[in-house]
A and B are shown apart, each in its own frame.
Chain A
Amino acid sequence: MLMQLTLGGLSQGMIYALIALSLTVVYRSTTVVNFGHGDFVMAGAFLSYVLVVLAGVAFLPAAALAMIAMFVLGVMFNRGLIRPIRGGPHIGLALMCIAAGYLLRGIARMVWGREVLPMPPVFDMDPIFVGDLVITGDAVFIIGTVLVLLLLFFGLMALTDLGKMVQAVYQSPRGARLIGLNVDRFNDFSWGVGAALGALGGILVAPVSLLHPDLGASFLIKGFAAMTLGGFGSLGGAVLGGVLLGIAEQYAGAYLDTALIEITAYVVIVAVLFIRPQGLFGRKAVVKV
């Protein structure tokens, strides 16, 4: 029972980890928190649905196409809407992200109305039985994909200069410019990667859940909860926070009350901010007077 719950939590948590990571990528390199990110996740899920069900493309190429499309959308969003108001107050930037999210949601609802769409199962394999543990194809698929991706991501960050570039742009865009980094292009790139990774979260979750235009809102909160738990702005913390949140949800649902699954994330946010605002891996902010 405990193992089964942990496995379920792990596969949910991997999705949250991916969403929290994609939020952190954008935050770390542009200092903008994308409050419309949930709708980027939703857009990824819908794009893969369109390609798989309506256009008849196989799942893997459809997922790749959807991610590329979302990468382009992320870049376009940064260039067209974020860059013109970069110098303004951070409230403006947050509101712009919210507006973009609603635009995506509006488009999705215009096309699908108020329907709820099921996606055909992608990874149709017989469940594996290990003792009394049931491992479904979906779980293997989600956990496997995200693990490979995380290895790739953190490998790139550690082995190439990319990690240092992110840090440089985060600490001082001006300083980064001085040493010859093209900060504008770097921001474009980060928005693209953030949008594509978030979309992948949606693509992975599509086969195991029902699709509707409002599905992004809850993923946004879960992404934030994972970030807050791991330490806002910490890439590794976001991943670990996501996994822990996924498992905590399953435990709370099984041992306390199923209605609690939905609000575990909120409780985590409130509890962490009151007890340990810097999260598990964040550094305490120092205010200089």
Chain B
Amino acid sequence: MSQIMPSARQRKMRTLLFWAVPAVLLLLPLATNPYTQFIANGMLVSVLVTLGFTLTIGNLGQLAFANTAFFGIGAYSSAILAAKLGVPWLLTIPLAGAFGALGGFLASAAALRGIRTYYLAIITLAFGELMRWAYLHAKPLTGGTDGMPMPRETLLGISLTDDTLKFYIFLAVTVLLVKATLNLMRSHFGRAVMAVRENEIATASLAIPTARVILATFMWSGFVVGCAGALFARHVGHVFPESFGMLHLIASFAMVLVGGLGSVLGAVLGAVLLTALPEYLRAFPGMEELFFGLIVAGVLVAMPMGLASLLRRVSPIFVERFYREAP
């Protein structure tokens, strides 16, 4: 791989840039109206969803369809904990993450039996559909098709329906999880994840327990997306089963691909770019499916490594070591 690595100075620049973005975003609520603030909050939720997704399909290189299921598990567990057990919403975020991680464990436990690639894809697909069935049929817990509303709550005397307050909480959670994921991928574990993608047998020969690496990646992915689910529950204020259907799945795929498979920067870019657009398409039935379908097909043919690959060509600052270079 003839990738130019960033120099020490550029690495410092990169750290500065990483913290400058959220610092500037702190001022964002000054420049928004209620609608754009709502959209900005949605973007932060999407960033986490895409980040968790790119871990399994980009970094680990396993086909996985359970991402939407983790999102739903996170949202429903947050709503159930808050509405039925009276847990403060802020506390439900890590708990929802834990349930998401449990979902990640269940969806990928078959990896311990040697299940990979297409089989793993099918079992995660089945897991996702099973969860959707559960939302609809576990009526006393989930409210069935009517969904369930989030309880009213205040934080520091401000109602949690306030989008500016939500923005700051979402931003903090997002920055924390993005940074944690970046660190994790740079660690010994992260390198093992990418080694499994490149050649699982060679990785196993280095005494790395590959099945456990796969399980742990799914669990971290589930944790990140589960937390995103808890944010989403508060973001829209009402959890419906349709929010976690097939449309969400293709939207996540599109966000991952547009940004760049396996790139953390790409996850952020893809999520920010593709969250706002569909809002305008919602009025026309079928347009969302067409839009995301065309984007996924187009990116696969024309730009397989996504927008992040263009940025890498501009400056080595944007080079990460998490993705596979285009063949």
Contact = CB atoms under 8 A, between A and B. Distances in A.
B304 A103 contact: no
Contact of B122 (A98, A103, A228, A285): A228
Contact of B327 (A81, A87, A109): A87
A87 B115 CA distance: 24
Given A106-B286, A232-B118, A95 B137 contact: no
B125 to A, nearest CB: 7
Nearest to B112: A274
A221 interface: yes
A92 B246 contact: no
Chain B, interface SS category: helix
Contact of B286 (A85, A87, A107, A217): A107
B217 to A, nearest CB: 15
Interface string B93-133: 00000000000000000100111011101110111011001
Nearest to B133: A263
Contacts of A99: 250, 253, 292-294, 296-297, 300
B133 A96 contact: no
Chain A, interface SS category: helix
Interface in B217-251: 246, 250
B123 A107 contact: no
Interface residues of A, number: 53
B13 to A, nearest CB: 32
B14 interface: no
A37 interface: no
A214 B133 contact: no
Given A94-B121, A100-B293, A277-B113, A289 B286 contact: no
A204 B84 CA distance: 46
Contacts of A96: 296-297, 300
A228 B119 CA distance: 8
Nearest to A216: B246
Interface in A101-115: 101-103, 105-111, 113-114
Given A90-B117, A266-B126, A273-B113, A85 B300 contact: yes
B288 interface: yes
Nearest to A94: B63
A274 B291 CA distance: 37
B175 to A, nearest CB: 28
B285 A109 contact: yes
Given A99-B300, A107-B286, A110-B287, A289 B126 contact: no
A243 interface: no
B246 A217 contact: yes
Nearest to B197: A89
Contacts of A87: 327
Contacts of A89: 61, 324
A41 to B, nearest CB: 15
A181 interface: no
Contact of A224 (B125, B205, B288): B125
Contacts of A113: 285-286
B246 A106 contact: no
Given A111-B286, A213-B286, 15 more contacts: A35-B125, A81-B297, A91-B63, A96-B296, A98-B250, A99-B300, A100-B293, A105-B286, A106-B290, A106-B293, A110-B287, A259-B137, A263-B133, A273-B119, A289-B205
